[in-house]
């Protein structure tokens, strides 16, 4: 969310820390990024989940989102084309930004999709509605504060007198990339600390962790446990 807010600010900035583009040009490369995202997201997610599972897909998506979003300010290093003197974007910079932002969003989607599935499998069926409600509440709070945080970080970095505007742009995106990568590190450490990634995770009567089963099969096994009197522990 913060990165999505920072990208337009970066495109609009008329000092050395931005591209000084028209709104139309910014919308064009963001739209191109969306096309790339739609084209590759499902294929990549399906292949990665089949290969390494949901948890590590979440970690991978979180880890790679930051580095790919950090590529955005590198577009400042492209030489200006003749059109860019009119606040219009040249093709090399357009292609670069479309790919960088499109792939960054792909990895972000890998994170959020995996988190949703893991959360749904972490509680009994009767509590999924409550859990999803709390999850949506937390997401809404993040959406409210994300733009404020991004604007504050970008303005503070680019307008600082301690370094150049260009370095400030790299620093601003670097801060967000570092935060994203640190989240993946925290997730891995928490999983290792819990032992088998499941400390405190509900298990079914068969002894299998609930997060490994999502959907109708999980519900049917739980119903069978109740009928046999084994319960859900």
Looking at residue 121, what is its pLDDT? 81
| pLDDT value of residue 195 | 63
The answer for 231, left when phi > 0, alpha when psi is -120 to 50, beta otherwise, is: left
Nearest of 4, 223, 16 to residue 109 by alpha carbon: 4
The pLDDT score that the predictor gives to residue 50 is 95
pLDDT at res. 211: 43
Neighbours of 111 (CB within 10 A): 22
- Angle CA 147–153–158, to nearest 5: 125
CA–CA separation, 9 and 94 (whole Å)? 16
DSSP annotation of 121 reads T
Per-residue pLDDT of the chain (233 residues; tens, 9 = 90+): 788 889 999 999 988 889 888 888 899 999 999 999 999 999 999 999 999 999 999 999 999 999 999 999 999 998 765 455 556 678 889 999 999 999 999 999 999 889 888 888 878 888 888 888 888 888 888 888 888 999 999 999 999 999 999 999 999 999 999 998 898 888 888 888 876 444 344 444 444 444 444 444 444 444 444 444 444 43
SS3 201: coil
């Amino acid at each position: 969310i913060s990165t999505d807010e920072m990208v337009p600010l970066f495109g609009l900035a008329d000092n050395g820390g931005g591209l000084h583009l028209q709104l139309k040009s910014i919308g064009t490369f963001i739209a191109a990024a969306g096309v790339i995202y739609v084209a590759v997201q499902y294929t990549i997610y399906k292949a990665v989940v089949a290969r390494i599972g949901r948890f590590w897909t979440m970690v991978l998506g979180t880890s790679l989102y930051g580095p790919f979003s950090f590529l955005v300010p590198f577009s400042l290093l492209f030489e200006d084309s003749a059109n860019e003197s009119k606040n219009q974007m040249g093709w090399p910079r357009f292609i670069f930004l479309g790919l960088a932002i499109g792939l960054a969003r792909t990895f972000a989607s890998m994170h959020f999709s995996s988190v949703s599935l893991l959360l749904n499998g972490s509680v009994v069926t009767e509590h999924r509605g409550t859990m999803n409600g709390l999850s949506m509440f937390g997401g809404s709070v993040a959406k409210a504060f994300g733009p404020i945080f991004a604007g504050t970080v970008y303005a503070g970095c680019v307008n600082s007198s301690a370094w150049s505007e260009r370095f400030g742009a790299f620093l601003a995106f670097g801060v967000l990339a570092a935060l994203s990568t640190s989240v993946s590190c925290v997730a891995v450490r928490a999983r290792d600390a819990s032992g088998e990634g499941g400390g405190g995770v509900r298990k079914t009567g068969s002894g299998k962790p609930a997060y490994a089963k999502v959907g109708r099969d999980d519900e049917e096994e739980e119903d069978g446990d109740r009928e046999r009197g084994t319960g859900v522990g």
